[in-house]
Amino acid sequence: MNHQIFTLLIFLFFTNLNLYSQENKKPHYLYDETWNRLTLKEYINKQDLRFNLPVEVENDTAVIARLVPRKSYGILKPSVKKDFLKMLSEISKRDIDSFKTIVINFHFEKNNSIEYYTSNNQYNKKMDRSKWIEQFYFTESGYQFESKHSDVFQDKFKVIEKLFFKDYFQGDNYVIIKPDGKFFRYYGEYQLSKVYQHATSKMDEIITSHQNLEYSHKKSDTIYSSNLVAINNKSKRRYFELVPFHFNNNGQNYNGNKGDFFNIKVKRFNTLNMSCSFWAEHGDKKNVLRVLIRLAGDSDRKLTESTISAYSSKVGQLVPIKTNFPDTGPYAAFCLVKKLDIDKPEEMVNILKNDVVTVQIDDQLFEFVAPDFD
């Protein structure tokens, strides 16, 4: 890691921890996901939003910082599950079938995007149509949210929080509980398409898919070095006005470059043109990470009929925005963006270094990798 960047990360880390304020001289302790003690350098290097989230807790004697795993599994005892379903039924006024899969979207007041999740009518209708899924939206105790689109309940007695969300207490999270009591929990921003996929999958399939994903990223240095495709050899000339990401051709989906796009094989559309890049200015927005997907050639298919999402390992979920492009034809496009919290474009290096953006189109995944800034 570049020495200056590492020094900056240390400074930011020390600044953000309450411990290092002048008023707070408490000792600090850093841990990984399994409570192994870490040095500051190890703690920073192990942070990866794909797999963990940093959490800081201050007690009377110390500040504890831990990397909490985003994905975890467990099982509820039959008696606990029975009482839990009874509570859900009483709060929601619904008759809940114990043979259904339960999906709970849980939102803390701090740093949440609950409006985005509750207002996604396409997703919610899809969940409602399923005969074997019972979905709920809950907020933490003391946080009331009114939605025009979905029923939102409050976890007044902290039953759900204590059972499933006691290690990470902000933002948006979800848990899926199978009829046999086995559950899959996910902390932090999430893709709605993943919730439906997990809710309709067997627990063994969910666990296997995540184990394979983690294994592939552990081997990422080898994978990316041999399969990365750049948009062109002159892209660095426009840094930091525009910084295009590379395409990871590990799945052998790459057909070639089409101008500023990668032409990629996609089942439903045959091929699509895709790009992922940082833009210093994008319309009325500044300093955004953008994914743009366009139809390749004249097609009567609509991009909006597919489930499309994008997730950055460094800054989380990208959000779809409206464009002036049509839904069909040679100029049809679908755009997702994430605004970065920076003042100057060149500061994007500190945030997007080693970033991996995963684009999902229906059941296919495509990866774009940040260029080497060193």
Average pLDDT over residues 296-309: 77
| Res 360: pLDDT | 87
pLDDT of residue 205 exceeding 70, the answer is no
pLDDT for position 223: 33
Q: Following DSSP, what letter does each residue of 195-237 receive, concatenated?
A: HHHHHTS-HHHHHHHHHHHHHHHHTHHHHHHHHEE-S-TTGGG
Share of the chain above pLDDT 90, in %: 25
134 and 198 fall within a common domain: yes
Query: Alpha helix (H) ranges present in 219-287?
Result: 220-227
Check residue 89 and give left, alpha or beta (phi > 0: left; psi -120 to 50: alpha). Answer: alpha
Could you tell me the two tokens for 331?
């100029």
Considering the domain architecture, whether residues 246 and 362 belong to the same structural domain is answered as: yes
Phi then psi dihedrals of residue 159, to 5 deg: -70, -50
Report the CATH number at residue 202.
Answer: 3.40.30
Identify the residue with better confidence: 372 or 5: 372
84 in the same domain as 53: no
Same domain, 100 and 203: yes
Domain contains 151: yes
* Number of domains present in the structure of the chain: 3
Same domain? 311 vs 201: no
Q: Could you tell me if residue 220 is inside a domain?
A: no
Of 48, 69, 90, the position where a domain reaches its end is 69
Phi first, then psi: what are they for 39, rounded to 5°? -80, 170
State whether 161 and 58 are in the same domain.
Answer: no
Give the per-residue pLDDT at 207.
62
Residue 37 and residue 122 share a domain: no
Residue range(s) defining the domain that contains residue 93: 71-209
pLDDT over 80 at 2, yes or no: no
| More confidently predicted of 25 and 362 | 362
The model's pLDDT over 102-118, given as tens digits with 9 standing for 90+, comes to: 999 999 988 788 998 99
pLDDT attached to residue 51: 85
62 and 47 both lie in a single domain: yes
pLDDT digits (tens, 9 = 90+) for 150-177: 899 999 889 999 999 988 878 899 999 9
Is pLDDT above 90 for 356? no
Average pLDDT of span 315-337: 83
Residue 112 maps to a domain = yes
pLDDT band of residue 208 (cuts 50, 70, 90) is low
Q: What per-residue confidence (pLDDT) applies to 324?
A: 79
| Higher per-residue confidence, 344 vs 10 | 344
132 and 250 share one domain: no
Structure confidence at residue 15 (pLDDT)? 40
Q: What is the pLDDT of residue 374?
A: 61
Structure tokens given for 76: 């509820």
Residue 79 within a domain: yes
pLDDT band at 209 (very low <50, low <70, confident <90, very high): low
The verdict on residue 10 lying in a domain is: yes
Residue 218 covered by a domain: no
Helix (H) or strand (E) holding 316: strand 316-317
CA distance 273 to 295: 6
pLDDT-derived band at 35, boundaries 50, 70, 90: confident
- Final residue of a structural domain among 180, 209, 238: 209
Place 14 in a pLDDT band, splitting at 50, 70 and 90: very low
CA dist., res. 103 & res. 172, Å (int): 13
8 inside domain:
yes
Could you report how far apart the first and last alpha carbons of the chain are, in Å?
8
Domain boundary among 69, 92, 115: 69
Question: Are 50 and 81 contained in the same domain?
Answer: no
Position 47 scores a pLDDT of 83
| Residue 21 confidence (pLDDT) | 46
Q: Do both 243 and 340 map to the same domain?
A: yes
CA distance 35 to 93: 40
Average of per-residue pLDDT values in the chain: 81
User: Same structural domain for residues 364 and 236?
Assistant: yes
pLDDT of residue 17: 47
> CA 244, CA 231: separation in Å to the nearest integer?
7
pLDDT of residue 371: 86
CB 288 within 8 A of CB 282: yes
- On whether residue 82 sits in a domain, the answer given is yes
Q: What does pTM read for this prediction? A: 0.55
Q: Kindly report, residue by residue over 54-102, the tens digit of the pLDDT.
A: 888 888 888 888 898 888 888 888 889 999 999 999 999 999 998 999 9
The CATH number of the domain where 353 resides is what?
2.60.40
